[in-house]
Structure 1
Amino acid sequence: MDYQFLSQTMLFSGESPEEIKEMLSCLGAVTRSYGKGEIIYHAGECVHSMGLVLSGNVQIESDDVWGNHSVLDDITPGFFFAETYASLSKEPLMVNVVSAAAKTEVLFLNIGRLLTTCTNSCTHHNRLIHNLFFISARKNLLLSRRIFHTTPKSIRGRLLSYLSAQSAAANSLDFTIPFNRQQLADYLNVDRSALSAELSKMQREGLLTTERNHFTLCEDPLES
């Protein structure tokens, strides 16, 4: 276990690697590995542990009864998933949690143990609870951003909203997004073919250039 890496995550922020090592057994920590496309949590099940991605990446996905598929979030190393459902242990998951890498390692923590003080690590629980609240607030912000990006009715409007936000986050007109074309289409809740066609049209108009998941936005298309 890379305790130095864990000390840099949001949940364990403020804790030393030595302190984290002592705390993990108290928190019911278990590490598991998954292959690409493997389901970590199924929609409909109730969970008691939240997961910290150690390596690879995890996607939060939704499928309706008609087979429509949406990617709600992409979880990269150092970030958590299922903390809300684990806190409400009788509330069944509305989404699937899926490994999106050839190999994904996840550290699972029993949230009941985290939220209940104990003689072994009670001095750290207040900090952990504070950090967990921060993580939940961040997740709410990410979901709000997706709602913002999918509010425009047109595919171009959704692309402009998402790509503008990615550019601002990178502080550059040149940036790489965490999605391939299908994942981007799922995230924006649009058809992949229509998305690709719109991107091609935007390139012809000089609004941007793109190769795979790398984008360069053009401030003045008239000069491109």
Structure 2
Amino acid sequence: MPAGDFGVLLEHLKTETRSYKKGDLICHAGEHTNALGIVLTGSVTIESDDIFGNRSVLDKVGPGQVFAETYACVPNEPMLVNVAAAENCTVLFLKTAQILSPCAVNCGHHGKLIENLLLVSAQKNLSLSRRIFHTAPKTIRGRLISYLSFQAIRENSDSFTIPFNRQQLADYLSVDRSALSKEMGKMRDEGILNFSKNHFELKRTS
């Protein structure tokens, strides 16, 4: 694609790039948005807070990944989640109205962009479905084993690194952090799990 056409496409899409510091709220629950975000550097977390201040981490989004696309595509739909900077990050915002309308140069890249966003949306739905699956067990051990087993299958290895720190993992699994750490200690003492920070190794029993 010629550089001039790419510039026209970006202008048509009305892109905006913003930088955030760790802990900054990028999107607030209850507000409306007409733009989706693409993480360029760093990472963000998708979080849900109840009226008592209890927080659940629904997902972590890294470079090249998208957030808020569902809300941006549904007019006047209030967001049910917060999006927070997990670390210093840079985000590119694209307005969905421009994404869904043809661009002046008719370059073909616009269609590819829409195709990629549909794929991303499907992947996000799978991610949320996996979280429901991981939080279905009633015990902390059951939830942890469900999550770690999925990571082992995805990495095709019993040794892997997860994208969450301890607090984020507890929030993702909807459990108390202290209780989670205690259960992990028990599993290590039983010889079925080793871990260091966010690196884990599953020990299969014969």
1:155 counterpart = 2:140? yes
**Which amino acid in 2 is paired with 1:81?**
F
1:173 counterpart = 2:158? yes
Q: C-alpha offsets along residues 95-115 of structure 1, whole Å, 9 cap, x if unaligned?
A: 0010010x1000001111000
User: 195, 198, 220: which one pairs with 2:180?
Assistant: 195
Q: C-alpha offsets along residues 101-142 of structure 1, whole Å, 9 cap, x if unaligned?
A: 0x1000001111000113234633322222211111111000
The correspondence of residues 70-89 of structure 1 with structure 2, limited to 5 A, is: 70-89=56-75
> What RMSD over aligned residues (CA atoms) do the two structures have, in Å?
1.5
User: 113, 118, 127: which one pairs with 2:112?
Assistant: 127
The number of aligned residues is 205
Taking structure 1 as the reference length, what is the TM-score of the superposition? 0.88
1:212 counterpart = 2:197? yes
Pairwise CA distance, 1:64: 0.4
3-state secondary structure, aligned to 1:129: helix
Pairwise CA distance, 1:171: 1.0
Percent of residue pairs bearing the same amino acid type: 56
Pairwise CA distance, 1:21: 4.5
Pairwise CA distance, 1:22: 4.2
Distance across 1 between alignment mates of 2:7 and 2:23: 30
3-state secondary structure, aligned to 2:183: helix
Distance across 1 between alignment mates of 2:161 and 2:9: 36
User: 29, 52, 74: which one pairs with 1:66?
Assistant: 52
Contact 1:26–1:121 (Cα < 8 Å) also in 2: no
Contact 1:23–1:121 (Cα < 8 Å) also in 2: no
Distance across 2 between alignment mates of 1:118 and 1:207: 56
Gaps of 5+ in 1: 1-15
Which position in structure 1 is the counterpart of 2:124? Answer: 139
3-state secondary structure, aligned to 2:39: strand
Q: C-alpha offsets along residues 74-110 of structure 1, whole Å, 9 cap, x if unaligned?
A: 0000000001100013101000010010x10000011
After superposition, the Cα gap between the structure-2 partners of 1:197 and 1:90, relative to the gap in structure 1 and judged at 3 Å, is: same
3-state secondary structure, aligned to 1:33: strand
**Which amino acid in 2 is paired with 1:209?**
N
Contact 2:41–2:90 (Cα < 8 Å) also in 1: yes
Distance across 1 between alignment mates of 2:63 and 2:112: 21
Distance across 2 between alignment mates of 1:215 and 1:21: 45
3-state secondary structure, aligned to 2:46: strand
After superposition, the Cα gap between the structure-2 partners of 1:122 and 1:143, relative to the gap in structure 1 and judged at 3 Å, is: same
Query: Is the deviation greater in 81-90 or in 21-30?
Result: 21-30
Pairwise CA distance, 1:20: 4.5
Distance across 2 between alignment mates of 1:150 and 1:17: 48
Which position in structure 2 is the counterpart of 1:54? Answer: 40
